């Protein structure tokens, strides 16, 4: 009996350790993602802008069509890249110079959290393969700064698969009733369950721990406000970090705050695991109800449930669970499906030297107007006015006759108004 008790105790300890390790792995990956967002992607965006400035208009159009169709004929992309050997060598030099720094920093994150980096089957560290692939100029040409984690260089898809994926995507985009019904269901049935478990969990937290969590929530909100203000300011320049020491201070504060929250998660890993089990016990019912909603709206239930579960996983990490505010469920974007299909406007390259492209995404079947204004609100050019039938509408802006300054690109799509700043430099 004593021997059996020792075995059971050992198994319990092993399970606890495994849970802690999984939690730390998850949080380490989040830190690595944040590091790449802050340090790698801005440099990639700058390199892509410089590369694109050298391309002809026809080459830019061809790349845009390849990206839009999600169909990557390697021969066509390679043909464009092969025409610019000097740019390719310059880009690879930049990556080779920064790669050791990036890898060292990411390894330091793993060491700090006492986690092992992921390895490939050949024994190499996964992040090394990621950066090595990134050094390929074809990867750079296909990279989408609006969806930086969607690595478009994985390979070409067959035209049959392209048509299938586009039809599925189109069905989701043209069915706002489905999104609205699912959002209502999750607000009324899913979020209350998560919120109740989070309120119950508060009972095991000390006053100091609650204060740490609330402080972290506030810092996250401040970070959002700071970045939004910077993005709308005249100092914003795509591909560059903010020239403001307050941002560096904020990053340090955020890292310290997340470290404290992580320590709380490790201290209460048993209670968090119990809460997760209770939340997941509702999964079958939620999937059944959501399948019924999908079928009523002529949508594939498997696809919809997969989308729901992906969003559910956002709340399933210990850190996310701790930071979830049960008193502000109406403000959370955890199940805000409209964000996936909201109208987006991207202006690139920015700054613009000769030509710029204004991409309007998800404004299908809307009357779209695109105009250029001065900072003072004076109309300079009317660039487009018409009924749009495309998922991605691109409007070309020739800036050769415009003086160096900051201008405003205004896009009206139906009842949505979006303004983006563009810097003209010759």
Q: What tens digit of pLDDT does each residue of 347-369 get?
A: 888 788 888 888 888 787 788 99
Is the same domain home to 214 and 300?
Answer: yes
Is the same domain home to 223 and 192?
Answer: yes
Final residue of a domain: which of 318, 340, 362?
340
Is the same domain home to 22 and 65?
Answer: yes
Q: What is the pLDDT of residues 157-207, one digit of tens each?
A: 433 343 333 333 333 343 667 777 877 888 888 889 989 999 999 999 999
Q: What is the mean pLDDT of residues 381-391?
A: 86
| pLDDT for the residue numbered 340 | 45
The CB density around residue 369, as the number of other CB atoms within 10 Å, is 15
Is the same domain home to 331 and 413?
Answer: no
Q: Which residue has the higher pLDDT, 339 or 220?
A: 220
226 located within any domain = yes
**Sign of the torsion formed by the C-alpha atoms of 74, 75, 81 and 82:** positive
Q: Which residue has the higher pLDDT, 30 or 40?
A: 40
As for how many domains the chain has, the answer is 3
β pairing state of 416-424 and 379-388: unpaired
Final residue of a domain: which of 310, 340, 370?
340
Give the HSE-up count for residue 270: Cα atoms under 13 Å, Cβ half-sphere. Answer: 7
Q: What is the pLDDT of residues 233-244, one digit of tens each?
A: 656 554 455 667
| pLDDT for the residue numbered 292 | 87
CATH number, residue 375: 2.60.40.1930
Provide the residue range defining the domain that includes 392. 342-424
Is the same domain home to 48 and 123?
Answer: yes
Is the same domain home to 227 and 312?
Answer: yes
Q: What is the pLDDT of residues 102-112, one digit of tens each?
A: 888 788 777 77
Is the same domain home to 186 and 332?
Answer: yes
304 located within any domain = yes
**Cβ pair 21, 262 in contact under 8 A:** no
CA 210/CA 68 separation, integer angstroms: 46
Is the same domain home to 24 and 125?
Answer: yes
Nearest to 395 by CA among 422, 357, 421, 365: 357
316 located within any domain = yes
Q: Of all residues in the chain, what percent carry a pLDDT higher than 90?
A: 9
Is the same domain home to 81 and 199?
Answer: no
CA 411/CA 223 separation, integer angstroms: 27
């Amino acid at each position: 009996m004593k021997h059996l008790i020792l075995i059971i105790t050992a198994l319990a300890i092993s399970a606890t350790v495994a849970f802690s390790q999984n939690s730390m792995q998850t949080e380490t990956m989040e830190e690595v993602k944040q590091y790449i967002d802050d340090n790698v992607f801005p440099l990639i965006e700058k390199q892509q802008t410089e590369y694109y400035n050298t391309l002809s208009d026809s080459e830019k159009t061809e790349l845009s069509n390849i990206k839009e169709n999600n169909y990557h004929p390697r021969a066509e992309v390679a043909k464009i890249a092969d025409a610019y050997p000097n740019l390719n060598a310059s880009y690879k030099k930049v990556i080779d110079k920064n790669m050791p720094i990036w890898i060292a920093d990411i390894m330091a994150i793993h060491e700090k959290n006492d986690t092992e980096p992921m390895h490939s089957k050949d024994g190499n560290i996964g992040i090394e393969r990621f950066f090595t692939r990134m050094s390929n100029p074809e990867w750079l040409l296909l990279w989408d700064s609006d969806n930086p984690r969607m690595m478009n260089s994985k390979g070409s898809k067959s035209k049959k698969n392209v048509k299938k994926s586009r039809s599925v995507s189109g069905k989701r985009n043209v069915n706002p009733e489905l999104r609205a019904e699912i959002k209502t269901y999750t607000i009324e049935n899913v979020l209350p369950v998560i919120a109740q478990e989070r309120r119950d969990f508060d009972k095991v937290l000390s006053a100091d721990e609650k204060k740490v969590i609330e402080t972290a929530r506030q810092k996250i909100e401040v970070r959002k406000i700071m970045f939004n203000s910077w993005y709308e300011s005249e100092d914003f320049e795509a591909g560059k970090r903010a020239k403001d020491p307050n941002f560096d201070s904020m990053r340090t504060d955020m890292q310290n705050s997340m470290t404290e929250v992580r320590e709380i998660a490790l201290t209460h890993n048993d209670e968090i695991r119990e809460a997760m089990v209770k939340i997941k016990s509702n999964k079958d019912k939620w999937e059944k109800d959501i399948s019924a909603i999908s079928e009523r709206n002529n949508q594939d239930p498997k696809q919809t449930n997969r989308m729901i579960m992906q969003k559910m996983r956002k709340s399933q990490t210990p850190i996310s669970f701790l930071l979830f505010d049960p008193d502000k469920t109406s403000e959370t974007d955890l199940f805000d499906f409209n964000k996936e299909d909201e109208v987006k406007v991207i202006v690139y390259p920015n700054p613009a030297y000769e030509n710029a492209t204004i991409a309007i995404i998800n404004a299908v079947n809307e009357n779209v107007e695109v105009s250029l204004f001065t900072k003072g609100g004076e109309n300079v050019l009317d660039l487009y006015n018409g009924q749009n039938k495309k998922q991605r509408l691109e409007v070309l802006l020739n800036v050769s006759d415009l003086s160096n300054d900051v201008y405003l690109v205004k896009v009206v799509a139906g009842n949505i108004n979006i303004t983006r700043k563009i810097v003209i430099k010759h």
